Amino acid sequence: MNELNMKLQGKDQFVYDMYTNVRAFKPKLTLFSR
């Protein structure tokens, strides 16, 4: 989760890049919740 947080707070982030990072993180979150 910290990795996602760092990516979202980086400078010069475009909305598409943030959306891609969140979308890529969702499957990881599902795995962690099991």
pLDDT 10s per residue in the chain (34 long)? 788 888 889 888 899 999 999 999 999 999 988 8
Q: What is the pTM of this model?
A: 0.70
Asked whether 7 and 21 are in contact (CB, 8 A), the reply is yes
pLDDT of residue 13: 86
Residue boundaries of the structural domains of the chain: 2-33
Q: What is the DSSP string of 6-23?
A: HHHTSTT--HHHHHHHHH
Residue 22 one-letter amino acid:
V
pLDDT of residue 26: 94
* Residue 22 zone, left/alpha/beta (φ > 0; ψ -120 to 50; rest): alpha
